[in-house]
Structure 1
Amino acid sequence: MTKNLHIDTQAMRAKILDLAIQGKLTDQRAEDGNAQDLLKEIQAEKEKLIKEKKIKKEKPLPAITEEERPFEIPNSWEWVRLGDICQINPRNHIQDENVNVSFLPMALIGEGYGSNYCPEIRKWKDVKKGFTHFANNDVVLAKISPCFQNLKSAIMNNLINGIGAGTTELHVLRRYSHTLDPKYLLCFVQNQSLIKDGIKTFKGVVGQQRIGKDFIKEYLCPLPPLAEQKRIADKVSTLFAQLDAIDKAYEEYRELQQAMKAKLLELAIQGKLTDQRDEDGDARDLFQDIQEEKQRLIAEKKIKKEKPLPEIKSDEIPFEIPKNWMWVRLGNICSKVVDGAHNPPKGSNHPTPYIMASSQNINNDRLVNLYNVRYLSKEVFEKENLRTLASEGDIFFTSVGSLGRSCVYDGSLNICFQRSVSVITAQIYNWYLKRCFDSPYYQNMMYAEAKGTAQKGFYLKQLSNSLIPLPPLAEQKRIVAKLDELLPLL
């Protein structure tokens, strides 16, 4: 499936919610009544709760001005502030301190606390202090970045004894009256307008920023009659279910596509995608020519002499290859296998034509995000470039962090690298070697042998020692041509 045929379901979800809260997703019906009457019922219920001392009387929220209203709504709707129709971050008042309740840990924010979450069971006395409180049908939303931006919000349901407590990184909206549908309220808090406006009010350090209670309490919400709230929620649910089905189908397609690509690459490097021809000769002759060429380059001091790589043992060979192929170590078929700077210099404060890139700049078989690099002065670049000396046709290979991505360099940039990228000059057909790197064999081997915990690395010695199936040069080119013909069809 090409990119332009893939439906952007996230954008469609955002548009559906946008239309929903503007009254453009459903019809307005006279028999639904008017949201003014609904609002009076909510206010009456609120006054009753204050009189019964179940909630405290609060300072009235500011009147809504004409200038504040972000868009037109149907005549039967009303603009309200969320704090006028919901308690924001209420407290549960439970008499029995030994009652079991649901506990929602911080980790479940990232998972979106969906229908499959399994809250812990705690005694109320153990969680009533120091945690956020909620109850069945409360709407909760994450207040911390990036969970807030990623729409981590939900309706609390199936809580033990109907109540719960948990992470303080939530804002809780509890309806004053059953004349407000929690599913409609959830649709509202997930709309992009609220997200964008909330981001503008963020406070705190980057990565740990939060929206405040007052922002939620004073935020404007369009209130439809109850019957239309339910129609909106049902319509959104139906449309979202259809988009979920599209996402699932596309993901299944992508998995099939990737499996087919992997199979083609596997067949290619096993010699099963092309025919072997007598006139191609034997890879052993090619290998001998490469060794002689390397000796010439060493004699001319164009490359350094390196310690011989170990012989290949039979138990190292991962699969059978044609008789006129041979297994080789990568370092023996390359004149250069180096990584980038281990101590990268300080970059320039402004863009220059000289850049130092990293593994994040290699993806999808090409250099990407070249606005996000370290800019160097000409003098610093010339010093740093002595290590990698990237030339047209070299292969850039990500060897730290995001492992195993690669591209063939077109020679168009003044570019050097940090340690996370290795630069390889192949003495065989570079595109064949690149396809070997892409193959399931090489990727699985690399990840199995990568070292490190927080950040995996497949370092130079491992790279040089890695095994490559080597066909004669003519077949290398036929393999690449066949892959170039078949892979785009996927």
Structure 2
Amino acid sequence: MDTNKLRQKILDLAIHGKLVPQDPNDEPASVLLERIKAEKERLIKEGKIKRSKKSAKTSDTPHYEQVPFEVPSNWAWTTLGEISNYGDSNNVSVTDIADDEWILELEDLEKDTASIIQILSKKERNIKGVRHKFKKGDVLYSKLRTYLNKVLVAPQTGYCTTEIIPFNSYCGISTHYLCHVLRSAYFLDYTQQCGYGVKMPRLSTNDACKGMIPLPPFAEQHRIVAEIERWFSLINIIENNKEDLQTAIKQAKNKILDFAIRGKLVSQDPNDEPAVELLKRINPEFTPCDNGHSRKLPQNWCWAKGMFIFSPMKSVQPTGETFQYIDIDSIDNVRQTVKETKVIKSSNAPSRASRYTQKGDVVFSMVRPYLRNIAKVCFNDCIASTGFYVCSPLDMLHPEFCYYLMISDYVVNGLNQFMKGDNSPSIKKRDIDNWLFPLPPFAEQQRIIAKIEELFSTLDNIQKALEA
């Protein structure tokens, strides 16, 4: 789940008037704009604000020949400059700021969410120059690299870098609503079109003030803000639990594998040929090991050492000009797959003979096995590093069941106990040769594989939804 896209969808619905229903009893936004106009005229006469510079074509009652999109009938289009004091910043020299005052810098804000990462006072920073003073409730808008979406409503009074513009609204227009408009994809697109500078693009004060704002009635602004916050709160819960969900999926897969290799994932069929009979027929030298393990297996299963279920590894030197090579870097140890093979010139082949692999084999790293550098080989005629044990299943072991067996906690955690060495602790070939593996009848292996793939597919779909 792409939570940033979900947030933007909610903001898009909000600024189009589609997030909450309209109330015909609400005072129209056009009346609010007239009140703002009167308020600004009063403040100009009192000398508290200056009249904005207007072109000769600009009338006292703005009329927009082309608006970005349609809004409900009781809404109105305006500009940021008409409804706020954007750009009228209070500049303060750092020397005039008390040591315990909050100093906000751009790096203190998380991109996209604008969450405050840290709050540091002047005495905790080494700063010079000038800062903008802001009050609790002001909108703090980063004009530098607007695509980072660092826009928020100030939770308390403080001072900020001059790359952040603090401003407030006239006649009580919700600064929280304005903040959401400025964070919307619609307004971000606008700032990208008129920003200046290449490496560090900025939004000029003039362009910011000309940015068009869809304005709802006063009461609807607050209903919209409440609904946005409700949805964003749910999204935050999803984000906070996303890591827990990922962990739960991993644990679920491990549990499925544990059930699978203990004979508890699918039911047994008494008509299946017992695994021990199949082993004896394929390898007359096989000796049952049922008394060598404390865990009890289903009746038709048996314990078998690795040496009886895997083909002896073939050490080969490459022939031809080049060869495909698998080493630790080739393995994606999260998905247990070979992400890519290396093509190496035969003249650069390792001095020690490497292990021949073919499609259906499983390579299991004997170096730090707890890192789970384990993968299926999905192509023929490849050579693996000597750091791998190549699990090439014999006829009594299905290749897919072999793979699920080797990535199970029982095998990985069990083999970890044999590690020796400090810098690169490893196990030996003999450790896998002598390890006891639970072996079901061949027919049951196929049923287990089908069930694992069914369950893993469901979990993988959840995983993709989390990552989308």
Q: TM-score range by the shorter chain?
A: 0.5 to 0.7
Asked whether the 8 Å contact 1:79–1:220 carries over to 2, the reply is yes
Larger radius of gyration: 2
Q: 1:221 aligns with which of 193, 208, 213?
A: 213
Alignment of 1:425-444 (within 5 A): 426-427=392-393, 429-436=398-405, 438-440=407-409
The whole-number CA distance in structure 2 between the counterparts of 1:415 and 1:436 is 23
Asked whether the 8 Å contact 2:27–2:217 carries over to 1, the reply is yes
What residue in structure 2 maps to residue 14 of structure 1? 8
Q: 1:281 aligns with which of 276, 280, 287?
A: 276
CA displacement 1:298-331 (0-9 Å, x = unmatched): xxxxxxxxxxxxxxxxxxxxx97669546769xx
The two structures have a TM-score, normalised by structure 2, of 0.60
Q: 2:359 aligns with which of 392, 396, 406?
A: 392
What residue in structure 2 maps to residue 192 of structure 1? 185
Could you tell which deviates more after superposition, 76-85 or 117-126? 117-126
Aligned-pair CA distance for 1:222: 1.4
Aligned-pair CA distance for 1:175: 1.4
Alignment of 1:84-103 (within 5 A): 84=82, 85-88=84-87, 90-93=89-92, 97-98=97-98, 100-103=100-103
The two structures have a TM-score, normalised by structure 1, of 0.58
Matched, 1:129 2:123: no
What residue in structure 2 maps to residue 3 of structure 1? none
Asked whether the 8 Å contact 2:142–2:151 carries over to 1, the reply is yes
What residue in structure 1 maps to residue 34 of structure 2? 37
The whole-number CA distance in structure 2 between the counterparts of 1:43 and 1:281 is 92
CA displacement 1:387-419 (0-9 Å, x = unmatched): 99875324588999xx758664554xx999999
Matched, 1:114 2:115: yes
CA displacement 1:160-216 (0-9 Å, x = unmatched): xx21336x7x643411435221210122122222334445667778xxx65412254
CA displacement 1:220-264 (0-9 Å, x = unmatched): 221233222212212222344455567778876665444332222
What residue in structure 1 maps to residue 173 of structure 2? 180
What residue in structure 2 maps to residue 237 of structure 1? 229
The whole-number CA distance in structure 2 between the counterparts of 1:44 and 1:325 is 90
Instruction: Give the 3 Å change call, closer, same or farther, for CA 99–42 of structure 1 in structure 2.
Output: farther
Could you tell which deviates more after superposition, 132-141 or 468-477? 468-477
What residue in structure 2 maps to residue 482 of structure 1? 448
What residue in structure 1 maps to residue 160 of structure 2? 165
The whole-number CA distance in structure 1 between the counterparts of 2:431 and 2:192 is 48
The whole-number CA distance in structure 2 between the counterparts of 1:245 and 1:19 is 21
Asked whether the 8 Å contact 1:270–1:320 carries over to 2, the reply is no
What residue in structure 2 maps to residue 140 of structure 1? 140
Could you tell which deviates more after superposition, 389-398 or 100-109? 389-398
Asked whether the 8 Å contact 1:273–1:479 carries over to 2, the reply is no
What residue in structure 2 maps to residue 265 of structure 1? 257
Q: Which amino acid aligns with 1:281?
A: V
Instruction: Give the 3 Å change call, closer, same or farther, for CA 485–267 of structure 1 in structure 2.
Output: closer
Aligned-pair CA distance for 1:100: 2.0
SS in 1 for 2:170: coil
Aligned-pair CA distance for 1:488: 3.0
The whole-number CA distance in structure 2 between the counterparts of 1:474 and 1:118 is 57
- What percent of counterpart residues are identical? 20
CA displacement 1:73-109 (0-9 Å, x = unmatched): 2344333333442425934448953252223452542
The gaps in structure 1 that reach 5 residues or longer are 1-6, 291-318, 339-343, 345-357, 451-456
Matched, 1:471 2:460: no
The gaps in structure 2 that reach 5 residues or longer are 286-292, 317-321, 323-328, 459-468
Instruction: Give the 3 Å change call, closer, same or farther, for CA 375–486 of structure 1 in structure 2.
Output: closer
Instruction: Give the 3 Å change call, closer, same or farther, for CA 253–442 of structure 1 in structure 2.
Output: same
